[in-house]
Amino acid sequence: MKNTYDSKKIKEDRNKVNDREDIIKGRNAVIEALKSENTTIEQIMIAKGEREGSINVILAIAREKNIVVKEVDRKKLDLLAEDRNHQGVVAKITPYKYCSIEDILSFAEKKGENPFIILLDEIEDPHNLGSIIRTAELCGAHGIIIPKRRNVGVTSTVYKTSAGAIEYMKIAKVNNLNAAIDRLKEKGIWIYGTDMDGEKYCYETDFKGPVALVIGNEGKGISKLTRNKCDFMIKIPMVGKINSLNASVAAGIIMYEVLKFRLD
């Protein structure tokens, strides 16, 4: 969905921070990764002198799982994390293992539920992706599909922002988002695009049955070709002076509308 996030700022942030997919930073994110059976931690690095609070929890779990822990200078953590927002701990992991569209569909089938899938059209901000993953997991989505190009992947910032939800969410990375939509349509899944100029309000929309939501780029919204692939275009009611929402906030509002139908 189009929103007020400054696209120029996004480009500046991307030039400034080259977020890595083999690093997890922050205490809670590392603890969740340690608890997960889906993440392989190669080693953990903590800042010299850090022995307070949740650092002790990390050390205890790492000891139990025989994971190597190294004490390093805080400047090294700053370099690895590419900022100082690491809370004194960084884990080096085997990069996130993406799944396939078929894995997501099979997961829904095994649960005996209609598929509920989120498709992201060139989401560039890792904080937005992390927040979307967190809300998608809470709302019972079966998976998220992202394109390989011009879309942020599962980076350390995404891990941290998702607050551990990344460990329970299936994410497929595809060469072509529109081809993925065609695949979902073949499976009888309805495609709902989100845009401030949508034809119908989200609260008026019947989300019963198989659902896939398309969330657009922070600045440009959904691309024209992808928009044409959607079965429906929906919008969120707004009465304030600002006429658009952040991508993760918009996605969250609509995901909860879908959830309402699944709770009936």
- Cα 261-151-76 angle, rounded to 5 deg: 115
User: Does 214 fall in a domain?
Assistant: yes
215 contacts 251 by C-beta, under 8 angstroms = yes
Strand 23-25 relative to strand 89-93, pairing = antiparallel
Residue 7: the pLDDT is 43
* Whether residues 128 and 35 fall in one domain: no
User: Does 1 fall in a domain?
Assistant: no
* Whether residues 140 and 215 fall in one domain: yes
- pLDDT (tens digit, 0 to 9) for every residue of the chain, 264 residues total? 444 334 444 444 443 345 677 888 888 889 988 988 778 899 999 988 777 788 999 999 999 999 999 999 888 888 887 777 788 899 988 888 899 999 999 999 999 999 999 999 989 899 999 999 999 999 999 999 999 888 888 887 888 888 889 889 999 999 999 999 999 999 999 999 998 888 889 999 999 999 999 998 878 889 999 999 999 999 988 887 776 778 899 999 999 999 999 887
Q: Residue 69's domain spans which residues?
A: 22-93
* Whether residues 124 and 252 fall in one domain: yes
Q: How many domains does the chain have?
A: 2
* Whether residues 88 and 109 fall in one domain: no
User: Does 2 fall in a domain?
Assistant: no
* Whether residues 71 and 190 fall in one domain: no
Three-state helix/strand/coil letters over the chain: CCCCCCHHHHHHHHHHCCCCCCEEECHHHHHHHHHCCCCCEEEEEEECCCCCCHHHHHHHHHHHCCCCEEEECHHHHHHHHCCCCCCCEEEEECCCCCECHHHHHHHHHHCCCCCEEEEECCCCCHHHHHHHHHHHHHCCCCEEEEECCCCCCCCHHHHHHCCCHHHHCCEEEECCHHHHHHHHHHCCCEEEEECCCCCEEHHHCCCCCCEEEEECECCCECCHHHHHHCCEEEECCCCCCCCCCCHHHHHHHHHHHHHHHHHC
Residue 118: φ, ψ to 5° = -110, 130
Residue 78: the pLDDT is 84
Residue 74: the pLDDT is 86
* Whether residues 215 and 117 fall in one domain: yes
